Chain A
Amino acid sequence: ELKVEQNPLFLSMQEGKNYTIYCNYSTTSDRLYWYRQDPGKSLESLFVLLSNGAVKQEGRLMASLDTKARLSTLHITAAVHDLSATYFCAGWSTGNQFYFGTGTSLTVIP
């Protein structure tokens, strides 16, 4: 089994501020995924990180992967209300099962 822990679980931030969501995982997997889920909706893929040191950016979101520390981060720059959602990281276990983190519920306040 792969344990995937995110923090914080809940994040309330003001528009225009920066913040980072952390994702720690328990195996030596070198692949990590980030998804977004809007309330009552399905999951949307944000980033696929495939190797140590991988960094990907899309708009105000930037994700990175440190496989040695078993850590991925999702950095939010100058948050806007549209970014309010729940963000999940996920990865593959050695038994070839896909595990999601606990999720971080982000609320951006005007």
Chain B
Amino acid sequence: DTAVSQTPKYLVTQMGNDKSIKCEQNLGHDTMYWYKQDSKKFLKIMFSYNNKELIINETVPNRFSPKSPDKAHLNLHINSLELGDSAVYFCASSQPRDEETQYFGPGTRLLVL
């Protein structure tokens, strides 16, 4: 069974469109995350979320919004896509304890044309 899964794997879309990326984890973890990895492989946290608290990286444009229907899912919705949004987006999950590592999904490769 896949621990952290994301759909779609690839997403090609036009500027100005709205899109969503879905993430599901079957590890029973309480905390989920979204990361953006750019073309230079820099990884930046966008959001971390558990059922009590959403922590937003202040550098993330408000066109990006996480939506969590339940503890096992954290979807990423992006409004008015821009060229600079092209990147690989990774979902991850962990238990909230500090000693726990994060488990990453396979990534969604987004290309905005």
Contact = CB atoms under 8 A, between A and B. Distances in A.
Contacts, number: 51
Contacts of B17: none
A103 B55 contact: no
A50 B107 CA distance: 27
B41 interface: yes
Contact of B43 (A45, A95, A100): A100
A68 to B, nearest CB: 19
Interface string A35-78: 00100011111001010000000000000000000000000000
A96 B42 contact: no
A22 interface: no
Contacts of B44: 100
B99 interface: yes
Chain A interface mostly helix, strand, loop or mixed? Answer: strand
A94 B78 CA distance: 28
Given A48-B99, A103-B41, A96 B107 contact: no
A100 B90 CA distance: 13
A50 B41 CA distance: 26
Interface of A: 31, 33, 37, 41-45, 48, 50, 86, 88, 90, 92, 95-100, 102-103, 105
26 contacts: A31-B99, A37-B41, A42-B90, A42-B104, A42-B105, A43-B92, A45-B103, A48-B99, A48-B101, A50-B98, A88-B43, A90-B43, A92-B98, A97-B45, A97-B48, A97-B55, A98-B33, A98-B48, A98-B102, A99-B45, A100-B35, A100-B43, A100-B45, A102-B42, A103-B41, A105-B41
Interface of B: 33, 35, 41-45, 48, 55, 57, 90, 92, 98-107
